[in-house]
Amino acid sequence: MKTHTLRKVEIIIEAPILRQVEALLAASGIHVFTVLEAREGRGIAGRWNDAHMVDGMDQRMVVAVAPPESVAQAAEAIAQLFERYPGVMFFSDVEVIRPERF
């Protein structure tokens, strides 16, 4: 089985900026991603869960796999968004089959 190296970005944000993040991904050539509800976790302010979130501050995790140059472009744009809104990004190299899907 032949694999191909791509880059994965995982982005945790508040739900109100989800559409902005999706638009920045698309502008960077990333059109395939998954959005998950982030139900609970621990951050710099301590433990949190969705039962204690204020309306509109629900957390989302966006996961995308794409060529490294597309992820780098998206990361630059999303980092600028994080100057006004909370959020974090994680990056890793991943091996995939069927790279045409990304």
* Tens of pLDDT, residues 8-44: 999 999 999 999 999 999 999 999 999 999 877 777 7
Looking at the predicted structure, is the pLDDT value of residue 52 above 70?
no
- High-pLDDT (> 70) share of the chain, %: 92
Query: How many domains are there within the chain?
Result: 1
Q: Give the residues across from 8 on adjacent strands.
A: 65, 92
Nearest to 18, CA basis, from 72, 65, 58: 58
Looking at the predicted structure, is the pLDDT value of residue 84 above 90?
yes
Query: Quick one: pLDDT at residue 56?
Result: 58
**C-alpha 55, offset from chain centre:** 21
CATH number at residue 59: 3.30.70.120
Q: For the segment 56-76, what is each residue's pLDDT rounded down to a tens digit? A: 578 999 999 999 999 999 999
Residue 3: both structure tokens together: 């694999």
Which DSSP category does 19 fall into?
A: H
- Residue 54 has phi, psi (to 5 degrees) of -75, 145
Question: With the C-alpha atoms ordered 11, 17, 22, 27, is the resulting torsion angle positive or negative?
Answer: negative
Please report where in the chains the tokens 């991904």 appear, as a residue.
25
Average pLDDT along the chain: 91
Task: Provide the domain limits for residue 57.
Answer: 4-101
